[in-house]
Amino acid sequence: MTRLEEQLHAALIHLDHTVKHMAATGQPVDLLPLFARIDEIGAQLPPGTDPQLLHFLQRKSFEKATLWLEGRKAEITRGICGN
């Protein structure tokens, strides 16, 4: 993983943990800064970045992006868009 991919992975994991904590506690959390950070990192990915990863980020398929970054591509199910 590149440095940017590591940052992206960390941001995705942080979002996942935050959402799970929010669901468990019922405490509302402002998720917009977390989404903004993911978008910011995604915008910095260089040309030549795997189009599938970019697709997941553009579609906000963050679970699939996380699986892709972890090398767990076999676990990624096809979405309604066919990808």
pLDDT 10s digits, 22-69:
999 999 999 999 999 999 999 999 999 999 999 999 999 999 999 999
- Residue ranges making up the domain that contains 64: 3-75
Q: Is residue 81 in a domain?
A: no
pTM over 0.75: yes
Judge whether 13 lies within some domain: yes
83 assigned to some structural domain:
no
- How do residues 10-21 score in pLDDT, each as one tens digit? 999 999 999 999
Domains contained in the chain, number: 1
The verdict on residue 61 lying in a domain is: yes
Distance CA 12, CA 18 (A): 10
User: Is it the case that residue 81 has pLDDT exceeding 80?
Assistant: no
Domain assignment present for residue 82? The answer is no
Say how many C-beta atoms besides its own lie within 10 A of residue 11's C-beta. 21
Report how many helices (DSSP H) and strands (DSSP E) the chain contains, helices first.
4, 0
- Tell me, yes or no, whether 23 lies in a domain: yes
What pLDDT does 80 receive? Answer: 67
12: exposed, middle or buried (Cβ count in 10 Å: 0-12, 13-18, 19+): buried
